[in-house]
Amino acid sequence: MHPLSNLRSMIHRQSSIYAKDPKIALLQTCRELEVTTIAYSALGRGLLSGLIHPQRSPDDLPEKDFRRSVERDDATNFSNILKITDRLTALGEKYGMTSSQVALAWLLAQGEDNIPIPGTTKIKYLSDNLASFNVKLSAEDVAAVHALALQADAGHRHRYPPAFAKLLFADTPEL
């Protein structure tokens, strides 16, 4: 049975290859509680799409771009993110997929209770995103992408600007 057909509860969380936080273990906790997760920012706000690849610095992003305010996307970690995109692109060649499709296929491989919702503004990217449902990554490739996820944030930087970070888990009761 698909998780949406028997949906009791769900949580909306940021999840992409480079937005994993092992300290939180949110997906594992949700599974224990039988809660479906909706994974937003599945393509790392476009950084895993390969489309930003020619831009080698966050300074190349538009001045008011949100990603410029995110510590995890700063100049010291930006090259790590682009290296991951390069590796996703190389892996995609094996399957005839783009880096975006590999990133989404990896999220889909995490289980039916983890539903990625990539944002897009163009029909052609929507079609590309949907194509990721047609390919199953091998267990070895899922593990390889997981290893990339662990390398993605070498400095363990924050995923939100400080003003936003104060709102994270603001309504969560203390244990």
Adjacent-strand bridge partners of 10:
36
**What sign has the CA pseudo-torsion 15, 163, 155, 45?**
positive
Q: Can you say whether residue 143 is alpha, beta or left, with left for phi > 0 and alpha for psi between -120 and 50 degrees?
A: alpha
Q: What is the pLDDT of residues 36-82, one digit of tens each?
A: 888 877 777 677 777 765 556 666 777 777 666 666 666 667 777 77
| Distance, CA of 171 to CA of 20 (rounded, Å) | 21
Residues 136-168, buried b or exposed e (16+ Cβ, 10 A)? ebeeebbeebeebbeebbeeeebbbeeeeeeee
Long-range contacts of range 28-31, CB-CB < 8 Å, 24 or more positions apart? 30/113, 31/111, 31/113
Distance CA 118, CA 43 (A): 6
Alpha-carbon distance of 79 to 85, in angstroms, equals 10
The number of angstroms, rounded, from the C-alpha of 173 to the middle of its chain's C-alpha atoms is 26
Residue 8, judged by CB atoms within 10 A of its CB (0-12, 13-18, 19+), counts as: exposed
Greatest mean pLDDT range, 11-15, 23-27, 48-52, 122-126: 122-126
Among 150, 117, 107, 147, smallest CA distance to 20 is for 150
**Is this model's pTM higher than 0.75 or not?**
no
- Name the residue ranges covered by the structural domains of the chain: 3-165
pLDDT at 24: 56
Lowest mean pLDDT among 42-46, 140-144, 151-155: 151-155
Q: What pLDDT does residue 141 have?
A: 93
Q: Does domain 3-165 have CATH number 3.30.70.20?
A: no
